[in-house]
């Protein structure tokens, strides 16, 4: 069960478990200790955990300049938060996928050992080699993805959300032009339809 933190209007944080006020730094310590937290706005009851964690990252960046690469910060600002969701999704997918592969490798080798098809020593060596190969593949994938991201970023290639925003703006402009044409077709230089 997460530690419930309430944020009051004066921006103070209250730890309901320890029944005491807590600073952002102390909250960061809880997160580093792998405590699950949930921060809610005391007045509205709205979950503001993500906002509070962002404040912690901001404070770390402020106190330790260079904690995050400038290009990443610029990209986050330019994307209006869409990039954060994309990064979060990619990290969780990668971590989850590789962790499941490793568990499955270990499970299958243990099964071979239990069935007597491999000795304990052979199974241990095989597991070590397969996990090392899995780790190498994981790093190779990270390197490739990083290079692709840097290339796309340096070429200022728009993301899918950038393209969707452009389409939305073009649709809006097209609608406005149509409205102007209907209101006064002579103003825009078009003739009114003849009957």
DSSP string, the chain: -PEEEEE-TT--EEETTTTEEE-HHHHHHHHHTT--EEEEETTT--B-HHHHHHHHHHHHHHHSTTSS-HHHHHHHHHHTTHHHHHHHHHHHHHHHHHHHHHHHHHHHHHHHHHTTSS-HHHHHHHHHHHHHHHHHHHHHHHHHHHHHHHHHHHTTPPPHHHHHHHHHHHHHHHHHHHHHHHH-TTTTT-PPPP-
Which pLDDT tens digit goes with each residue over 14-48? 999 999 999 988 998 898 888 899 999 999 999 99
Whole-number pLDDT of residue 4: 95
Which pLDDT tens digit goes with each residue over 101-138? 777 888 888 888 899 988 999 888 888 888 777 666 66
- pLDDT surpasses 60 at 187: no
Whole-number pLDDT of residue 18: 93
Average pLDDT score over the chain: 76
Look at the alpha carbons of 94, 96, 102, 108 in this order and tell me if their dihedral is positive or negative. Answer: negative
Residue pair 128/136 in contact (Cβ under 8 Å)? The answer is: no
Domain ranges of the chain: 3-68, 76-162
């Amino acid at each position: 069960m997460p530690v419930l933190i309430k944020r009051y209007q004066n921006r103070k944080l209250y730890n309901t478990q320890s029944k005491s006020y807590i600073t952002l730094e102390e909250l960061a310590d809880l997160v580093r200790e792998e405590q699950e937290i949930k921060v809610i706005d005391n007045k509205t009851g709205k979950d503001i955990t993500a906002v509070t964690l962002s404040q912690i990252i901001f404070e770390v960046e402020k106190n330790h300049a260079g904690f995050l690469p400038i290009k990443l910060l610029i990209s986050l600002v330019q994307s209006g938060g869409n990039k954060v969701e994309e990064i979060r999704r990619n990290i969780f997918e990668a971590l989850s996928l590789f962790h499941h592969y490793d568990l499955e490798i270990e499970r299958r080798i243990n099964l071979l050992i239990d069935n007597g098809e491999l000795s304990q020593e052979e199974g241990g060596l095989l597991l070590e080699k397969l996990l090392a190969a899995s780790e190498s593949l994981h790093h190779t994938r990270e390197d490739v993805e990083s290079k692709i991201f840097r290339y796309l970023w340096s070429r200022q290639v728009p993301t899918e959300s950038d393209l969707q925003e452009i389409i939305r703006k073009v649709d809006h402009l097209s609608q406005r032009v149509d409205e102007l044409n209907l209101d006064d077709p002579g103003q825009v230089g078009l003739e009114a339809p003849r009957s």
